């Protein structure tokens, strides 16, 4: 996949939606670091999601952070290509679902 297509896929997936879908507990734009074992005894909410820039970072772990693709790779321990494929499938599924169900049940008038 070319870099422009990868960038489009990453920009089209919200960091917040992906984080929640991957099972991270998020309140607002803050959640618990998925490498919490590295900072025991400290506040669990050290993962910040920058929704405007579509990025994330942990205030404690220097190697936890990046974009949407990085979140998937770091959390699931996947290769970059697999994460991009997952995001592309996620977008395609969302688009097809909207086509099937958006506006159904509404009265036309």
Break the chain into its structural domains and give their ranges.
3-101
Counting residues of the chain whose pLDDT is more than 70, the rounded percentage is 80
From residue 74, how far is each of 28, 57, 89 by CA, in Å?
Answer: 21, 11, 19
- The pLDDT of residue 37 is 80
Confidence (pTM): 0.81
Class of domain 3-101: alpha beta
Least Cα distance to 32 among 80, 62, 77, 40 occurs for 40
CA-CA distance, 74 to 34, in Å (whole number)? 9
């Amino acid at each position: 996949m070319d870099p422009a297509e990868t960038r489009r896929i990453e920009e089209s997936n919200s960091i917040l939606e992906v984080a929640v879908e991957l099972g991270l507990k998020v309140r607002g734009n803050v959640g618990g670091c998925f490498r919490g074992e590295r900072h025991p005894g400290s506040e669990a909410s050290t993962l910040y999601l920058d929704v405007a820039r579509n990025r994330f970072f942990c205030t404690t772990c220097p190697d936890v952070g990046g974009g949407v693709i990085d979140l998937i790779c770091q959390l699931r321990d996947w290769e970059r290509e697999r994460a991009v494929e997952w995001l592309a499938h996620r977008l395609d599924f969302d688009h097809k679902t909207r086509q099937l169900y958006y506006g159904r049940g509404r009265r036309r008038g």
